[in-house]
Amino acid sequence: MHDAPPPDPAPDAAASDLRLFHTAPHACGYWPEREARDLVLDPHDPRLAHVYTQALGWGFRRSGDIVYRPHCAHCRACVAVRIPVEDFTPNRSQRRALARNADIESRVVPAERNDERLALYRRYLVSRHPAGGMDDHGAHEFDQFLIGSWNEGRLLELRLHGQLVGVAVTDLIEDALSAVYTFYDPDFVSRGLGTLAILRQITWAQRDRRRYLYLGYWIEGHRKMDYKRNFQPLEGFDGRQWRAMTAWAR
């Protein structure tokens, strides 16, 4: 990694001396023909848990213990997005998803690995990312990628008649929830469990009186990422401020 300038807007005094790094160029995980780089907060800084809320506000995201933001030389396709949950109203498709899955119970549990969750995670990766470098993940990768060591995380479990069919890994921060990763049973793909997980996370955030649900990155035109525009209202981070996506000018 290489030292990088601070993100904009500048951090407050408590985080003004945070070190940031540029990663070396690597293959883009979304557009294989493109080259990507990330801006990464110093993973050894003991203040990461303290500044994590700010970092999300700067458009960063957590993966394991790494807090990063895409910072590519010739591409700005990745846009950090969040839902202001008090203003959210499900559309017709989302209302159908809720009705279709009324028999699925959800509960919030500690962010811990067990055999049941690991087995579901591995089934999901084999189905969703065959030969993609993640389909051989085991217990170590589960803990390293999803749980982390310094964040305050929870798991939103989705269960159908007692059977675990989905898990939404979720971080709790000062005034928001952050959707880190969701995996589900590939046998139930027709139920739209990814959409259901977001809808249940929105309800959770509303119940706890949190302002936002962070959804990671939206990429216009990408079949696996463009669905996030279906959750309205939606705000996007343009590098300096959060703006309503309805006014987004690319």
Asked whether the predicted pLDDT for residue 129 surpasses 90, the reply is no
Count how many Cα atoms sit within 13 Å of the Cα of residue 50 in the half-sphere of its side chain.
10
Q: How far apart are CA 94 and CA 134, in angstroms?
A: 29
Give buried/exposed letters for 1-10 (b at 16+ CB in 10 A, else e).
Answer: eeebeebeee
Where are the extended beta strands (E) located within the chain?
2-3, 20-22, 26-27, 35-36, 38-41, 61-63, 66-70, 79-84, 104-110, 153-160, 163-172, 176-184, 212-218, 235-237, 242-244
Residue 110 tokens, joined: 């500690």
The reported pTM is 0.90
Quick: pLDDT tens for 87-104.
999 999 999 999 999 999
Question: Where are any strands of DSSP class E within 111-211?
Answer: 153-160, 163-172, 176-184
pLDDT score of 10:
45
Q: pLDDT band at residue 137, thresholds of 50, 70 and 90? A: confident
What is the tens place of the pLDDT at every residue in 170-197? Answer: 999 999 999 999 999 999 999 999 999 9
Residue 7 predicted with pLDDT over 90? no
Task: For residues 183 and 169, give the distance between their C-alpha atoms in angstroms, rounded to a whole number.
Answer: 9
Q: Count how many residues are written for the chain.
A: 250
pLDDT for the residue numbered 13: 46
Integer Cα distance of 106 and 193 in angstroms: 12
Query: Which band of pLDDT confidence, cut at 50, 70 and 90, is reported for residue 128?
Result: confident
pLDDT in tens, 139-155: 999 999 999 999 999 99
Q: How confident is the model at residue 130, as a pLDDT?
A: 60
pLDDT tier at 59, thresholds 50, 70, 90? very high
